[in-house]
Amino acid sequence: MKTTKNIALKTGAVFSVLSLLFTFTIVVPMFSIMHALFLQQAIEMIFPEMDYATGTQIMFLFFGALFLIILFLLMKRIKTLAGKNQNIRLGESILIMFIFYIIIHPLGYYLLLWLQGFPVDALNAIMSVASFLFSSLPFVLLGFMMDWYWKKLNNSENKGVL
């Protein structure tokens, strides 16, 4: 059997490094939050009386809730794998990180907007680049957490068998 030691941590580190490198392109951070901006525009079109700050707060809460739901599902998946004494495969790890990529960068963007007091000007494009710097780091933490949780479950299951 091929070893997959710390595969999630390694995948998370690659996603973090690539995200940090993409920051210098300036274009990739803007495109990485585009889906969230389209969703925010759709919500603001449905509720035209809603102001920009409220829309931004709703988007932050939406992506925060989505993050927690996906994290919960991920923990259930890891628990299932540990119960079968299987590890996360590379393709699965990349898919998980990509899903979190779609969630984490908009979450960081809306958090930064919230902390800056919801500016409604050309600085929003710059905010997407600035938020990319700190929203690139959670991938390493996420990968570490995935590997740690799997090891914890796998060790506790093996102790019960011995």
Q: Please say whether the beta carbons of 148 and 113 come within 8 A.
A: no
For 48, residues 6+ apart whose C-beta sits below 8 A from its C-beta are: none
Lowest mean per-residue pLDDT among 60-64, 91-95, 154-158: 154-158
Q: Is the pLDDT of residue 119 over 60?
A: yes
Q: What is the mean pLDDT of residues 122-136?
A: 83
What is the chain's length?
Answer: 162
Residue 157 binned pLDDT confidence (cut-offs 50, 70, 90): low
Q: Is the pLDDT of residue 160 over 60?
A: no
How many C-beta atoms lie closer than 10 Å to residue 17's C-beta? 13
- What pLDDT score does 145 carry? 94
Q: What is the mean pLDDT of residues 91-114?
A: 93
Burial of 37 (0-12, 13-18, 19+ CB in 10 A): middle
Q: Please say whether the beta carbons of 113 and 120 come within 8 A.
A: no
- What pLDDT score does 114 carry? 87
Q: Please say whether the beta carbons of 139 and 97 come within 8 A.
A: yes
Rounded CA gap, 89 and 132, in Å? 27
Burial of 76 (0-12, 13-18, 19+ CB in 10 A): exposed
Q: Is the dihedral of CA 92, 128, 68, 7 positive or negative?
A: positive
Q: For 36-49, how does the pLDDT look when each residue is reduced to its tens digit (9 = 90+)?
A: 989 999 998 999 89
Output the average pLDDT for the chain. 87
Q: For 64-97, how does the pLDDT look when each residue is reduced to its tens digit (9 = 90+)?
A: 999 999 999 999 999 998 888 888 889 999 999 9
Query: Looking at per-residue confidence, does 4 or 69 come out higher?
Result: 69
> What's the CA dihedral at 73, 74, 77, 81 to 10 degrees?
-170
Query: Looking at per-residue confidence, does 76 or 26 come out higher?
Result: 76
